């Protein structure tokens, strides 16, 4: 899995990041990934981007999620 494909921005302003991650639909998706395999998470993130036509908001959401996985030591 190539997690770097979810890296779109060098820096995401806090306000934009907070607005994006608070989205109700995103929260449903995010919660659906709890206690799942990395493969499931990867596929779910990819589908989310496709469903949202790679919108800036979906890019912020997925990148932020992948950064959290990295901080948690789940991916390198």
| pLDDT one-digit tens code per residue, 7-52 | 999 999 999 989 998 999 999 999 999 999 999 999 999 999 999 9
Structural domain includes residue 53? yes
Domain containing 18: what range?
9-71
In a domain, 26, yes or no: yes
Q: What's the pLDDT band for 76 if we cut at 50, 70, 90?
A: confident
Q: Look at residue 1 and tell me if it is in a domain.
A: no
CA 39-69-22 angle, to 5 degrees, is: 105
pTM for the complete prediction? Answer: 0.93
Q: What is the distance between the alpha carbons of residues 5 and 65, in angstroms, rounded to a whole number?
A: 13
Residue 13 falls inside a structural domain = yes
Query: What is the pLDDT at residue 57?
Result: 95
Assess contact for 66 and 6: CB atoms under 8 A.
Answer: yes
Q: How many domains does the chain have?
A: 1
Question: What does the pLDDT read at residue 68?
Answer: 96
What pLDDT score was predicted for residue 50? 98
**Cα gap 74→58, rounded to integer Å:** 21
- pLDDT digit string (tens) for 53-71? 999 999 999 999 999 999 9
């Amino acid at each position: 899995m190539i997690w770097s494909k979810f890296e779109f921005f060098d820096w995401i302003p806090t306000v934009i990041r907070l607005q994006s991650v608070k989205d109700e639909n995103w929260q449903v998706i995010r919660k659906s990934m709890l206690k799942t395999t990395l493969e499931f998470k990867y596929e779910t993130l990819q589908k989310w981007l496709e469903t949202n036509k790679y919108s800036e908001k979906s890019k912020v959401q997925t990148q932020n999620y992948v950064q959290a996985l990295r901080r948690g030591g789940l991916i390198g």
